[in-house]
Structure 1
Amino acid sequence: MKIHEYEDYLVKVSKEIMKYLIKMGLSEADAKDISQDVFVKLLELDTVIPYDKLRAWMYQVAIRTSIDKHRRRQTYDRILQERYLSLESWQLEQTEPDDLLQALEGLTSYEQTILMMKYDQQFQIKEMALILNLSEGKIKTDLYRARQTLKQQLKEK
């Protein structure tokens, strides 16, 4: 078998796997990520998988990877529920949007900026530190203080 035929076969199976994962309920982005992970694992193998067993191996890796991703997401959601969403003082569901806007206006422009970068634009701490030219520790501390100030302002309303 020539290398071009082998590559075409891998691409074909990869597309099949993506369709299968989407049909099983995963988002298109997750299906693409898992398909890419299958290729990475294939490249990292020390052994060569025979052509007739390659398709089954790829499906098996894709299914296991999707299960692992699902378990990680469940664990992450559980941790969020336990650590952050159970706090009585920080429940935005009970806060009116106008109250939140007024509370945000009571913050400094720097505090508003870092809160918007973190929660609206979903930047990572590392990215925020690079953009603002500050240390990660300073960003974390300032975010904590800004959240505390925002909580206090919301309590006063």
Structure 2
Amino acid sequence: MKKTRHDELEAVYLAFAKPLYFYLLKLTGSDIMAEELVQETFYRATLSLDLYEGRQVKTWLFKVARNAYMDEWRKRRRWGWIPFYNHLSNSTDFISPYGVPEDGLLVKEVADEVKNILELLPENYRTILYLREYEQFTYEELAKTLDISLDQVKVNLYRARQRFKQLAEKLGKDFERGDRYDVE
């Protein structure tokens, strides 16, 4: 049986809707806004399929999502609405049901600290750190998604990490290199 365009679009949606949702949730701090922007992303992607240059679908969709977010951000900025992480996770979604409860609590506390520091970073630093650390984008994927050169990716990522480290030190936080704390 031959795959139709509808089947292909559905497969892309099923593969990328959830990662896009979490990415947009990080940017907006609102689950409702993230859901709306995921729909807007796929709407825009469907309309601009003829402009698709054949690069990786993942990087293209994240770029479309980022552009949709930026358009919404500009629109709402005029009205003074710029939330980020404002309602995120006081839940225990990322505490493992296994192991020692104190360990889970410690992980949650550290994740909250990481989230609070991320809130203090400029949007471009939050974005590049999120895509690299949580979505595991390669440098090349970051360059394509953010529409910047590979060298600029390296510079921005370095600066974002340095700024994160400075803020952590200023707040008296010490995170070991390589530690990873999900803030979803």
Q: TM-score range by the shorter chain?
A: 0.3 to 0.5
Question: Which structure is higher in helix share?
Answer: 1
TM-score scaled by structure 2? 0.36
Larger Rg: 1
Tell me which of the two structures has the higher relative contact order, counting C-alpha pairs closer than 8 angstroms and 6 or more residues apart.
2
TM-score by length of 1: 0.42
